[in-house]
């Protein structure tokens, strides 16, 4: 078992960052409205069955694809690699492990490799997308939260160590992790893994999985988070505000979480830090209330229990259940006191 700080500095191929997420939604127009008017994403292309969106600073064609479907699931998570050679290296690497790794053509993307990780999460690796105008300075088009770029994914999986091993072998590094003490040993509850030099590209926490807990976009300023809440109230999306604004302990980000019309969860955040030097990972006890929110209020129970399944991927329950510190329990204890 590798140590949590063990590094793979010469990975088999070069993943550069979390790149795009594909969501199946039941009402394309309702989802399009949520992501353009509240989140502030820009439509790059659309047809009757799909909408391709990007953040205001993004040059690539899309970071979010919405597909009309009868089910609200996540079809895949995208990872960018440095160049097309990395696609072929990835294909060789996964084939040598006996995995099915298939080269496919995907609209608006360069050569794309599809493969599943050890938990069954469908992944797409691609090196390029059709370029579109970077809208960073087109302030007249800023709407809602003015989301700038996709930053990371967070997943629930039943086996944290299995997920960690898969991504660590691809050169992902742990920036922070959570644990709980059970008996005389520490049980790993979550790992924050990164390739691009900030705290995370992909996060795994323990739970029935695999499920997509949330995906996250950066905002230009903390004021944009307040504006997102104001716009949510004005447009009737107030019930979609699930958590925040608040300040994470892990990563230090100022955050807000919304649920979209299908219940897919999106985080809007800013102000996390660089993680480039080869520093040891930072560990947090799950019982530390400042881990999740420096301001003191834990998340509602549903934030821990509800998440998006992946399309046609069966769920597995974890061996050990850890009781999360919920807002409901926090309030019950406060009232008892
Ligand atoms: Fe997040």
- Confidence (pTM): 0.96
pLDDT of the residue at 106: 97
Q: Are 217 and 154 in contact (CB under 8 A)?
A: no
E strand or H helix at 255: strand 254-259
| Other Cβ atoms within 10 Å of 131 Cβ, number | 10
pLDDT of the residue at 87: 98
Q: Quick one: average pLDDT of 285-292?
A: 80
pLDDT of the residue at 309: 98
**Most confident of the following: 96-110, 241-255, 289-303, 322-336:** 96-110
Q: Is pLDDT above 60 for 315? A: yes
243 CA from centroid of ligand 1 (Å): 12
What residue has token string 């088999």?
12
3: nearest Cα among 265, 280, 273: 280
252: nearest Cα among 226, 291, 289, 309: 291
Q: Is pLDDT above 80 for 289? A: no
Q: Quick one: average pLDDT of 297-305?
A: 92
Q: What is the pLDDT of residues 23-58, one digit of tens each?
A: 999 999 999 999 999 999 999 999 999 999 999 999
- CA end-to-end distance (rounded Å), the chain: 44
List C-alpha distances in Å: 309 to 47, 187, 312: 25, 25, 8
150 CA from centroid of ligand 1 (Å): 11
203 CA from centroid of ligand 1 (Å): 8
pLDDT of the residue at 337: 64
pLDDT of the residue at 335: 82
Q: Quick one: average pLDDT of 68-73?
A: 97
**pLDDT-derived band at 4, boundaries 50, 70, 90:** confident
139 CA from centroid of ligand 1 (Å): 26
List C-alpha distances in Å: 95 to 92, 105, 321: 5, 19, 34
**Tally of CA atoms within 13 A in the half-sphere of 184 that contains its CB:** 0
% of the chain with per-residue pLDDT over 70:
99
Q: Is pLDDT above 90 for 258? A: yes
Backbone angles phi, psi at 310, to 5 degrees: -85, 145
217 CA from centroid of ligand 1 (Å): 9
For the domain covering 15-132+144-332, report its CATH number. Answer: 3.10.180.10
252 CA from centroid of ligand 1 (Å): 11
215 CA from centroid of ligand 1 (Å): 7
244 CA from centroid of ligand 1 (Å): 12
Buried b (16+ CB within 10 A) or exposed e, 39-49: bbbbebeeeee
Q: Is pLDDT above 60 for 277? A: yes
Domain boundaries, the chain: 15-132+144-332
pLDDT of the residue at 323: 79
**Tally of CA atoms within 13 A in the half-sphere of 256 that contains its CB:** 24
117 CA from centroid of ligand 1 (Å): 20
Q: What is the pLDDT of residues 188-245, one digit of tens each?
A: 999 999 999 999 999 999 999 999 999 999 999 999 999 999 999 999 999 999 999 9
92 CA from centroid of ligand 1 (Å): 31
pLDDT of the residue at 2: 52
Q: Quick one: average pLDDT of 113-128?
A: 98
307: nearest Cα among 254, 266, 268: 266
**pLDDT-derived band at 1, boundaries 50, 70, 90:** very low
196 CA from centroid of ligand 1 (Å): 15
Mean pLDDT, rounded, of the chain:
94
d(CA 159, CA 330): 27
**pLDDT-derived band at 93, boundaries 50, 70, 90:** very high
């Amino acid at each position: 078992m590798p140590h949590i700080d063990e590094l793979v500095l010469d990975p088999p191929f070069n993943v550069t960052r979390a790149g795009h997420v594909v969501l199946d939604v039941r009402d394309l127009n309702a989802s399009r409205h949520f992501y353009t008017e509240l989140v502030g994403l820009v439509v790059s292309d659309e047809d009757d069955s799909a909408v391709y969106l990007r953040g205001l600073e993004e040059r690539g064609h899309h970071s979010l694809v919405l597909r009309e479907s009868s089910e609200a699931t996540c079809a895949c998570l995208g990872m960018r690699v440095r160049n097309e050679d990395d696609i072929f290296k990835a294909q060789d690497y996964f084939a040598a492990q006996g995995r099915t790794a298939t080269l496919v053509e995907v609209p608006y993307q360069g050569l794309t490799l599809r493969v599943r990780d050890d938990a069954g999460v469908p992944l797409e690796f691609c090196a390029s997308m059709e370029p579109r105008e970077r809208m960073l300075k087109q302030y007249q088009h800023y709407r809602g939260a003015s989301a700038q770029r996709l930053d990371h994914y967070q997943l629930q999986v039943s086996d944290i160590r299995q997920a960690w091993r898969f991504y660590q072998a691809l050169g992902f590094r742990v920036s922070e992790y959570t644990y709980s003490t059970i008996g005389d040993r520490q049980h790993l509850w979550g790992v924050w893994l990164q390739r691009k030099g900030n705290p995370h590209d992909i996060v795994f926490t323990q739970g029935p999985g695999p499920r997509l807990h949330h995906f996250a976009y950066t905002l230009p300023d903390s004021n944009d988070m307040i504006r997102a809440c104001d716009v949510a109230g004005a447009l009737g999306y107030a019930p979609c505000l699930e958590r925040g604004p608040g300040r994470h302990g892990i990563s230090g980000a100022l955050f807000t979480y919304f649920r979209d019309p299908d219940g897919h969860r999106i985080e809007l955040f800013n102000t996390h830090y660089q993680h480039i030097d080869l520093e040891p990972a930072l560990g947090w006890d799950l019982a530390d209330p400042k881990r999740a929110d420096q301001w003191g209020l834990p998340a509602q129970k549903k934030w821990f229990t509800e998440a998006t399944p992946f399309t046609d991927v069966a769920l597995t329950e974890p061996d050990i259940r850890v009781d999360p510190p919920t807002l409901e329990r926090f309030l019950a204890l406060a009232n008892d006191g």
